[in-house]
Chains A and B, each alone.
Chain A
Amino acid sequence: MTGDMMGEASTSIISALLLSILFVMGVAIAHLRNLFAIVMLSGIYSLVCAAWYILVDAVDVGFTEAAVGAGMSTAVLLGAILLTSRNAKPERRFARLGPLAVCIAAGAMLIYATSDLPAAGDPASPANTGVGLTYLQINWADTGVPNVVTSVLASYRGFDTLGETLVVFIAGLAVVLLLGFGERSLAETLRKLKKEDKVP
């Protein structure tokens, strides 16, 4: 029992720590002008995000964040840096006031909305009074998967997930066909045209 309590306490402490790391990262990314450093820091941001998702038991979201945020988007952003400059333009003095106001307004609205949310584990909440409870009861006997979310995604809604995967695959294929790889790629063509002075 004490082991459980200790585990819980350390979980919440580490949770708070990871969230404060995220805050520091966000502020640093907003301040930096070197694009490569920003890409590197956003990689750390995604990794910390993914670790935190796993701590709060959202394993599938954590996977997506790690694969897309830390793995893929770092590569894609580096590719974007290759096509543009290495540093962001310096900003005018009060250029950020408008976006800041929008962010604060949106954040305030979200915080206001959370007051209407039911408490975690509330048996009277809509999530627990509908079909959710049934899934919780029959999930183990039906699929034998310990994580209910995973069992719904991969078993009950297996065909739906297969279709989604297909759609994402086709989208990726279309991007590859449009941009190309190697000698036929868009970047390579632009470079060649630049060499021949056909593009300023």
Chain B
Amino acid sequence: MMMAALIALIVSMCLLLIRALMGPTLYDRVLAVNSFGTKTVLLIGLMGFVMGRPDFLDIAILYTLINFTSTIAVLKFFRYRSFQVPLARRGEPRAVAPIAGGEPNA
């Protein structure tokens, strides 16, 4: 059962890797990286059970938190083109132009 889950996980990781390498747009890569992080977390959790050390699950959960940091950074990068903007909205949202490299087919 665990082995089947592991194999499925590895196949999906390889597929995500192809998506991250090929692109074609930047948003494909962002999505691929984000779900690759989730897959890594799942892999660590599963490996804990396969190796007979279920306490790896705690580490996997911590990785989820860390993975979230970079996602927030990427989203801020696309939305505001700056890290100086607070995430909480105060009054009107800023007018945003898409970044130069951010359009599809970039």
A residues lining the B interface (CB < 8 Å): 3-4, 6-7, 10-11, 14, 17, 21, 24, 28, 34, 36-37, 40-41, 43-44, 47-48, 50-51, 54-55, 59, 62-63, 66-67, 70-72, 74-75, 78-79, 81-82, 86-87, 181-183, 185, 187-188
Known: A7-B50, A11-B50, A11-B51. A70 touches B77 (CB 8 A): no
Question: Complex formed: what's the CA distance from A72 to B37 in Å?
Answer: 14
Q: Shortest Cβ distance from B5 into chain A, in angstroms?
A: 11
Instruction: Flag if A82 contacts B101 (CB, 8 Å).
Output: no
**Looking at A3, A4, A10, which has the most chain B CB atoms within 10 Å of its CB?**
A10
Question: Complex formed: what's the CA distance from A50 to B59 in Å?
Answer: 11
Instruction: Flag if A87 contacts B20 (CB, 8 Å).
Output: no
B residues lining the A interface (CB < 8 Å): 3, 6, 10, 13, 17, 20-21, 23, 26, 29-30, 32-33, 36-37, 40, 43-44, 47, 50-52, 56, 59, 62-63, 66-67, 69-70, 73-74, 77, 81-84, 86, 99-101, 106
Question: Complex formed: what's the CA distance from A40 to B62 in Å?
Answer: 20
A-B contact count (CB 8 A): 115
Known: A55-B47, A62-B59. A70 touches B100 (CB 8 A): no
Residues of B near A182 (CB, < 8 A) are 84, 86
Instruction: Flag if A10 contacts B74 (CB, 8 Å).
Output: no
Question: Complex formed: what's the CA distance from A82 to B78 in Å?
Answer: 10
Residues of B near A71 (CB, < 8 A) are 66-67, 69-70
Q: Shortest Cβ distance from A134 into chain B, in angstroms?
A: 25
Q: Shortest Cβ distance from B58 into chain A, in angstroms?
A: 10
Residues of A near B23 (CB, < 8 A) are 37
Instruction: Flag if A24 contacts B17 (CB, 8 Å).
Output: yes
**Pairs across A and B, CB under 8 Å, 26 listed:** A6-B50, A7-B50, A7-B52, A11-B50, A14-B6, A21-B13, A21-B17, A34-B106, A37-B26, A41-B29, A44-B36, A47-B63, A51-B43, A51-B44, A54-B47, A66-B63, A66-B66, A67-B66, A70-B66, A72-B69, A78-B74, A81-B77, A82-B82, A86-B99, A187-B82, A187-B84
